[in-house]
Amino acid sequence: MRDTMKSCQHTLSNDIEYKEVVVIGNGPSGMVTSFMLAGNVPYLKRVPEDLPIDDMLRARLSNLPEGQNLYETDLLELAEGLEGRSQNPIPLLMDNLLRPCADLGIPADPLIEWKYDVEKQISHIVLGRGPPGGAWHTFPPGVRTLSPGAWLSLPPLAAAAPGRLRARAVADYCRRYVRVCRLQRYFRSGAVVTSVTRAPRVAAPRCVASCPLQAGFWVSGFDVCEGRAFRYLCRRVVVACGAGARPNSLPHATDALHALADIEQALTELGDCGGTHTALVVGSGASAADAVGAARARGVRALHVHRAPPAALARLDPQEYPDYCQVYKMMCDGSKGNYPNYKSFPDHVIIDVTPEVTDPACGHALKRVRLLNLTTDHVTEVTVSLIAVLIGSKPDLFFLQTNFNLNCIQQDDCINCLQEKHVKKKIDDERKECFLKNHWMNFKNVLEQGINSCKSRYLNYSEINGNTDTKCDLSDCNRRPEKTRCACDKTEKIIPDNCECQANPYSSGIGFGIDPKKPVDGRANPVAIDKSTHELLHGPKGVYALGPLTADNFVRFIPGGALALVAHIHKDKKSAE
């Protein structure tokens, strides 16, 4: 219920703003969450008798009255027994209601209608580094999506085209979505979140829900556009920042490119400068296939280092995905050399990269790369102009794990120290003391954000050595033949197993995954959540996660996570009244 009561007397300082919910991330996850928090309520429609949906779901829906509010329904019970491409039940339920029979290829209208209810509006803010749409703005405009357009739409707007879309079309759709749904006032772009910390509980008489004393979290960061720090006090936090902030890297390829946009720009420069050039692409997924296709399209020879061809590419329809199927066929043919400007190196790893002289044709620095065949133990040397490493990525959750607290520093102590050591004249004492008192919060926020950012960038062990399995500087050390295996498998490890420095938690999210001892990975070790509410299991109450962080890597399943957490917020508010 929206807070329309007369506000209490508890207020905040001018540099702090209260919101009931702070959403971190303005991609599709943050956008659809904002749409529901803004007061848009899903109601069930009548299920057509000839619609071939799941029989158990049809039976459960038949027990509900037409026009049932989904926020007031047992969503986990409705989702029981559903199967699909998500391991979370409520996203599967929402997908069946928004896109019934989508996997069967049968077009059907949604079984949900949306109605605006001002009483269901919840005060919130969505924080994002760039414009609404998140990572879709970082992809090359011409790259096509894996999912068809109908699966990329968010309620209540449909996609512009049914087939595969270009990344630029999806980015434009995201901008249009925020504008058409009138969500602009909830979005703050250019905002970098640096910490989420618990707010101390203050004993006070019962106030309205919007009272700052009811808040549970501080969300701090800085605004890139305005060049100043910000702080939000809130009751709940939704982590919707995606899982692609930190691309996986290789220890020897330190100057490799990881973003498709940067790779395409570098390939364009190589193609424009003339001559014969070679690009080394590492990876076996869709992004690596995009890089191989981009290189060949620009006349640059592609050397493809990969594992076994993935089954995911093999299952794609050749008519819908001719680009990926072509690369898959080239990967399967191995190094036979049957394709122009392409050579495959299956089961190879990079063991050394040595810079060579600059290419006089275009000024690009050449690199001599040594590749080890893990099957035959044969070493191959190649000279390339570009190295592209596309082997997946992980989320950056450093803002959830910050143990450096500047609150222990007292303002008066700092002022006294300043007066004793650096101030000589009394008038200067008064001016500096006044300035420090007036700007103490901003000074402390900026310092804390700088420390947290440095911890995220430079103290993550897996980014330093690139091999978290053996803690070795050499990639795939444990997969190599015995005679080429390095000393880390034969003698005592330099870093003991019980050393705390092996897994620095600031960026990896250690403690929040299904296996709390391992870093969070959107595929291998997603964030552990309560399936009925999407609330963190290994975190404080009031913190939620959805989207790729919870292994929902397809946009079509994201609205279900938003439904689960928004429904829980409404039920929690109703029980507190």
Alpha-carbon gap, residue 392 to 247, rounded angstroms: 6
From first to last of the 577 residues of the chain, give the pLDDT tens digit. 344 444 565 656 666 788 999 999 999 999 999 999 999 999 999 988 888 888 899 999 989 988 899 999 999 999 998 888 899 999 999 999 999 988 887 778 899 999 999 999 999 999 999 999 999 999 988 899 988 888 898 999 876 567 888 999 999 999 999 999 999 999 999 999 999 998 876 655 566 656 666 778 999 999 988 888 899 999 999 999 988 888 888 888 888 999 999 999 999 888 887 778 999 999 999 999 999 999 999 999 999 999 888 888 888 888 889 999 999 999 988 767 678 889 999 999 999 999 887 666 666 788 999 999 998 889 999 999 999 999 988 898 988 875 444 444 344 444 344 344 444 444 455 545 555 555 555 555 556 555 555 544 444 433 323 333 444 444 444 444 444 444 443 333 222 333 333 334 467 888 899 998 888 988 889 999 999 999 999 888 999 999 999 999 999 999 999 999 999 999 998 887 6
Burial label for 104, CB within 10 Å (0-12, 13-18, 19+), is: exposed
| Residues 287 and 312 sit within 8 Å (Cβ to Cβ) | no
Who contacts 396 (Cβ-Cβ below 8 Å, separation ≥6)? 241, 245, 246, 456, 507
Q: Which helix (H) or strand (E) holds 356?
A: strand 348-358
What are the CB-based long-range contacts (under 8 Å, 24+) for 311-314?
Answer: 312/285, 312/286, 313/285, 313/286, 313/289
The total number of residues written for the chain in this structure: 577
The residue to which tokens 């690199």 are assigned:
367
User: SS3 for 467?
Assistant: coil
Distances (CA, A) of 247 to 103, 128, 175: 31, 19, 25
pLDDT at 457: 44
Token duo for residue 426: 């009394």
Give me the pLDDT at residue 577, please: 66
Any idea which residue has 């009255």 for tokens?
Answer: 65
Determine contact, residues 341/302, Cβ cutoff 8 Å.
yes
Beta strands in 71-116 (DSSP E): 112-116
**Interior/surface letters 539-571, b for 16+ CB within 10 angstroms, e for the rest:** beebbbbbbbbbbbbbbbbbbbbbbbbbbbbbe
Task: Determine the pLDDT at residue 545.
Answer: 95
Domains and CATH numbers, the chain: 16-244+515-576 (3.50.50.60), 249-391 (3.50.50.60), 402-458 (no CATH), 461-501 (no CATH)
- pLDDT value at residue 255: 86
Distance CA 531, CA 533 (A): 6
